[in-house]
Amino acid sequence: MAVSELSLPARLTELFRRIAGGLVTLAITLLGLLLVTFIIGRVVPIDPVLSIVGERATQAQYDAAREALGLDTPLWQQFWIYVRDAVQGDLGRSIRTQQPVLTEITRRFPATLELATLGTIIGVILGVPAGVLAATRPGSISDQIVRLVGLVGYSMPVFWLGLIGLLIFYGELGWVGGPGRLDPSYDMMLEFTMTRYTGAILIDSALNGAWDVFANALTHIVLPAGLLGYVSMAYISRMTRSFMLGELSQEYITTARVKGMPEWRVIWVHAMRNVSVPLITVVALSYAYLLEGSVLTETIFAWPGLGSYITDALFAADMPAVLGGTVVVGVAFVTLNMASDLLYRLVDPRART
């Protein structure tokens, strides 16, 4: 029996059961994520105690620091403390700066979120129409061009594309801003004269009416966001083409054409309605990939985001910062998967039965 045919109490019971099941799945997933990061922190050949006290510390100082970190307790107890602190928002303290890791991540994550969001928007705006164009003209010149552009974006190393982009558009042509989020002269304005609402410079500068800061930030973000958008477009266009080819071969499409329905309506209304269901998952995965995979892009463009934060912490053997950043990226990935699942159910009525 479908859920819509049940009585109201039964439907409420079913709803609560699904919500409870989703929360249990989320809890298990996050617990597994914490377990993986905990194991990584224990198996890497880096002694966190030495990172704090230094190699010239006495044995007494070493033992005191080890006890303060809780490393003298059994592993199961260390894991329990780790989970308890993480649930309370305590991801440890950075060895380099002696600041809470969560505070530093909160300050750096908006930069990554801004970059990945703009890259995903570019990927969707360019990738979906390109995939539809290729699917409606299979084997044509336009199809070959879309597939070639997607193949290049899929195959070329991101760091190489970033370096070439900086060399051409910044070094030679001067069309875009250099590395970083702003010119140094605007950094002081951002720090002392603007109210920080979200941490995203484009949004905050617009809300403050600082359009000169907005324009400068736009010149800096357009190249790295365009690069990530190109990588995202390559994946989205390829999947859109595949989904659309499958839909255009269905009988309901043939029936719509036989009835004389305009081709644009057949493609963008009827076929796209069904293509949008799996495409939601594709876009969510692409967004998650840009959030977690923009390390090289942020390093090349000196972008002060989460990726560069984790990279700098790794080179400095700052494992609390590395693991804290990994946990945040994992939580973002899980959250995006859950959001795509909810959207999937909203768009496709069959998923709600």
Look at 39-43, 206-210, 258-262, 320-324 and tell me which has the smallest mean pLDDT: 39-43
Residue 6 has pLDDT above 60, yes or no: no
Tell me the C-alpha distance between 302 and 279, whole Å.
32
pLDDT tens-place string over residues 230-242:
988 988 998 999 8
Domain boundaries, the chain: 3-87, 106-352
Task: Please give the angle made by the CA atoms of 35, 310 and 69, to the nearest 5 degrees.
Answer: 55
- Say what the pLDDT of residue 126 is: 92
- Say what the pLDDT of residue 178 is: 79
Fold of 106-352: MetI-like fold (1.10.3720)
Instruction: Collect all residues with Cβ–Cβ distance below 8 Å to 33 and sequence separation of at least 6.
Output: 327, 330, 331, 334
- Say what the pLDDT of residue 1 is: 47
Residue 125 has pLDDT above 90, yes or no: yes
Q: What is the mean pLDDT of residues 313-336?
A: 79
- Say what the pLDDT of residue 47 is: 66
Please say whether the beta carbons of 314 and 177 come within 8 A.
no
For every residue of the chain, which 3-state class applies, written as one string? CCHHHCCHHHHHHHHHHHHHHHHHHHHHHHHHHHHHHHHHHHHCCCCHHHHHHCCCCCHHHHHHHHHHCCCCCCHHHHHHHHHHHHHCCCCCECCCCCCEHHHHHHHHHHHHHHHHHHHHHHHHHHHHHHHHHHHHCCCCHHHHHHHHHHHHHHHCCHHHHHHHHHHHHHHHCCCCCCCCCCCHHHHHHHHHCCCCCCCCHHHHHHHCCCHHHHHHHHHHHHHHHHHHHHHHHHHHHHHHHHHHHHHHCCHHHHHHHHCCCCHHHHHHHHHHHHHHHHHHHHHHHHHHHHHHHCHHHHHHCCCCCHHHHHHHHHHCCCHHHHHHHHHHHHHHHHHHHHHHHHHHHHHCHHHHC
User: What are the tokens at 163?
Assistant: 């370096």
pLDDT tens-place string over residues 241-293:
988 888 888 888 888 888 888 888 888 888 888 888 888 888 888 888 887 76
Whether the model clears a pTM of 0.75, i.e. scores above it, the answer is yes
pLDDT tens-place string over residues 21-65:
767 777 787 788 788 777 777 666 666 676 666 667 777 777 777
- Say what the pLDDT of residue 353 is: 55
- Say what the pLDDT of residue 349 is: 60
More confident residue, 186 or 162: 162
Averaged pLDDT of the chain? 80
